[in-house]
Structure 1
Amino acid sequence: MKARTLSMWCALAWAFAGPALAQSQAMVPSVSRGQQLVESRCFGCHSVDSNRIGPALGGVVGRKAGKAEGHDYSKALAAATHTWTVAGLKAWLTDPEKVVPGQEMNYRLDLAQDREDVVAYLATLSKPTRP
């Protein structure tokens, strides 16, 4: 009887704690996966070292929003006053319109793990690469 009760409690504990433990382990950012995601999802509009439809991503962490030299921003982003941080970029990739109403980037990353990985990679690009 005691073994059955213990087994039942273990099963209940895993039912509640298991998903939380799995989620916390899954949220460890992967820079290499982030690089793959940036290359496959972001390079249609951005590059690391030059402005395209979107601004260069090199050096984005720590850069003033809407201020990358040589890029033509929307009025909303050009008027932004914040500096891109890791947390700010995660919020941006969750819902750009909520961060800067009137911006023109109509793309988001729906999965939290994707945002973690992409921002971890972007954080490694602390200085813009110049050709």
Structure 2
Amino acid sequence: MRRFAPWLPAIVLTLALAAAAPGRAQSPDGARLYQQRCGGCHSLDADRVGPRHRGLIGRRAGAVRGFRYSPALARSDIVWTRTALERWLRGPRAMVRGTTMGFSLSDPAERRAIIDYLASED
């Protein structure tokens, strides 16, 4: 008869919990992508070249006090939802003609991961 390894249930439980929480597994990837793709100009808590992003979901575009937005974005009626962010990250100048943000993300999985990360940091 084979002997039972006492540590085996702990490993099985850990793997099961990791599989049951996919959002948690995506978060580090979104954080890493945010730093790599957005971190040169943006931060969660401080205005830099671009405005801070904490609390972005549900916020009106051009609404961070003290940040100097392009007139085009300041006049826009955009409210940052997941759908609006998807469109924005795909092509900001196509969404708001005259915006100063020219960076876009062509990879839908990267856009989704960054949006998920931003939503988790509200």
Aligned to 1:32: 28
1:62-104 deviation digits (Å, cap 9, x = unpaired): 1100111111000101111121001110110001012111101
CA displacement at 1:42 relative to structure 2: 0.8
TM-score w.r.t. length of structure 1: 0.72
- Alignment match, 2:108: 112
Structure 1 ranges of 4+ moved more than 2 A: 28-31
Q: Structure 2: any 5+ residue segments left out of the alignment?
A: 1-21
Q: For CA contacts below 8 A with separation 6 or more, give which structure has more relative contact order.
A: 1
What count of residue pairs does the alignment treat as equivalent?
99
What's the CA shift string for 1:93-131, capped at 9, x where partnerless? 0010121111011101110000010000011121xxxxx
Distance 2:120 2:30 in 1: 10
Return the alpha-carbon distance in structure 1 between the equivalents of residues 102 and 75 of structure 2: 18
Query: Is the aligned partner of 1:80 residue 2:76?
Result: yes
Shift, 1:32, TM fit: 1.8
SS in 2 for 1:109: coil
Name the counterpart of 1:52: 48
For the residue of structure 2 that corresponds to 1:72, the secondary structure is coil
Is residue 101 of structure 2 the alignment partner of residue 101 of structure 1?
A: no
Aligned to 2:66: 70
Q: CA RMSD in A?
A: 1.3
Q: Distance in 1 between matches of 2:112 and 2:38?
A: 15
Structure 1 CA distance for aligned equivalents of residues 92 and 103 of structure 2: 8
Q: Give unmatched runs, 5+ long, in structure 1.
A: 1-27, 127-131
Which residue number corresponds to residue 18 of structure 2? none
TM-score (norm 2): 0.77
Take 2:66 and 2:47, find their aligned partners in 1: how far apart are those partners? 7
